[in-house]
Structure 1
Amino acid sequence: MRILLVLAHPLEDSFAAAVAKTAEETLVIGGHQVDLLDLYRENFDPRLSEAERRGYFDEPYDTSAVEDIVARLRVADGLILVFPQWWFNFPAILKGFFDRAFAPGIAFRHDSAGGRIVPQLSNIRLFWALTTTGSPWWVVHLYMGNPVRRLLKRGIAAFCSKRLDFRMLTLHDMDRISQARRLAHLARVRNALAALSL
């Protein structure tokens, strides 16, 4: 399987980077092809430009400003996102990745009748998120209603592809846990990805 592995963290020595490295190594050992897209290291600009917004309903939509990323997304069989949750949401650079690369004609098309959108990323069969949050489990799930999971599963994955394998592995209470728990989470990521079939 060809996996586009997207990392969204500004620090090269972050735990997110360690998760991405673990994911990449495990996938390669399992015989998968991995394309690591490190949004910060590749200087991805998350800002939707004026031209991109003005042309949002043009056909075809102009994706020339992000054509390299779009090409990488179109040949992937799976998408794995690695990121921290900040303020119960995506880092801005990852939100920009969705805004600019998950564009009309790429991730979806507008229904000619108006209103709804039709999924276009039929090549994506796997959509996983490997994430961390500084909040305890109960705050994320019971108080906040797990907004990142809802956005990813219902608002992005379901609108862009059908019949895909969605999964989210989250390490909670990130700022207060022990090194042993961090290592246990890396092992959990390794075990989950090692079970992926080609």
Structure 2
Amino acid sequence: MHFLLVLAHPLPESFACAVADTATRALEANGHSVDRLDLYAEDFDPRLSRTERSGYFDDPYDATGVGAIVDRLSAADGLILVFPQWWFNFPAILKGFFDRVFAPGIAFTHDAAGGRIIRKLTNIRLLHAYTTTGSPWWIARLVMGDPVRRLLRRGIAPFCAKGVDFQMLSLHDMDRATDARRRAHLDRIARRLHRIGPLNAIVNVNARTLP
């Protein structure tokens, strides 16, 4: 399989970068290929432009401003997201990635009758998110309702394809995490990614689990 790994953290020495490195090594060790998109290092502009917004319902939609990234996403079989949660949400640069790249004609098309949207990014069969929070797990889940997981699982992953394999793994209470906890989290990520088989195996599993 070919993966697009999207990293959203401004510091090259961050734990998020260690996660991205771990994920890349685990996937490549299993024979997969990885295209690493470091949003900060590549100076991605997260702002939806005036032209992009005013033409949002044009057919065809003009995505030339992010055309190179669209090509990289379209070439992938799986999408790996690596990011911290800030204020129980995506970093602004990652939210901008969704705003600008998961656009009409790329991730979905508008139903001519209005209302619903039609999935278009059907090449993506697997979406994993590896993230951290500064708060303990019970605040993120019980108090806040785990908003990032809900947004990805219910609002973004379904745009990719029906039956997409979505998984999310978070390291909570990151500000107080020991070296041992961080190493254990990296090991969990590596083990999870080592279990990913070839593309046809994922498709067949999803086919058996769909109604």
Task: Specify the alignment match of 1:3 in structure 2.
Answer: 3
Number of matched residues?
A: 198
Contact 2:27 2:194 in 1 (8 A): yes
Q: Does 1:149 align with 2:158?
A: no
Tell me how far apart the structure 1 counterparts of residues 110 and 84 of structure 2 sit (CA, whole Å). Answer: 31
Output the aligned Cα RMSD. Answer: 0.6
TM-score scaled to structure 1, two decimals? 0.99
> What's the secondary structure of 1:175's corresponding residue?
helix
In 1, are the aligned partners of 2:16 and 2:84 still within 8 Å (CA)? yes
Q: Compare the two structures and name the one with the higher helix fraction.
A: 2
Residue in structure 1 matched with residue 28 of structure 2 by the alignment: 28
Q: Deviations over 1:48-68 (max 9, x none)?
A: 000000000000000000000
Q: Which residue type is aligned with residue 113 of structure 1?
A: A
User: 5+ residue gaps in structure 2?
Assistant: 199-211
Aligned partner of residue 186 in structure 2, secondary structure: helix
1:106-153 deviation line (CA, Å, top 9, x unaligned): 000001110111110110000110000001010011000000000001
C-alpha deviations, 1:164-188, integer Å up to 9, x for none?
1000010000001111000000000
Query: 1:17 is paired with a residue of what secondary structure?
Result: helix
TM-score w.r.t. length of structure 2: 0.93
Contact 2:125-2:160 at 8 Å conserved across structures: no
Match of residue 119 from structure 1: 119
Following superposition, the deviation at residue 159 of structure 1 comes to 2.7
Matches within 5 A, 1:11-26: 11-26=11-26
Report the Cα distance in structure 2 between the residues aligned to 1:148 and 1:60, rounded to whole angstroms: 30
Aligned to 2:201: none
1:158 maps to what in 2? Answer: 158
Kept after mapping to 2: 8 A contact 1:118/1:160: no
Q: Which runs of 5+ in 1 are unaligned?
A: none
Q: Is the 8 A contact 2:123 2:160 kept in 1?
A: no
Give the 3-state SS of the residue equivalent to 2:197 in structure 1: coil
Residue identity over aligned pairs, in percent, reads 68
Tell me how far apart the structure 1 counterparts of residues 168 and 128 of structure 2 sit (CA, whole Å).
6
1:196 alignment counterpart: 196
Give the structure 2 partner of residue 129 of structure 1.
129
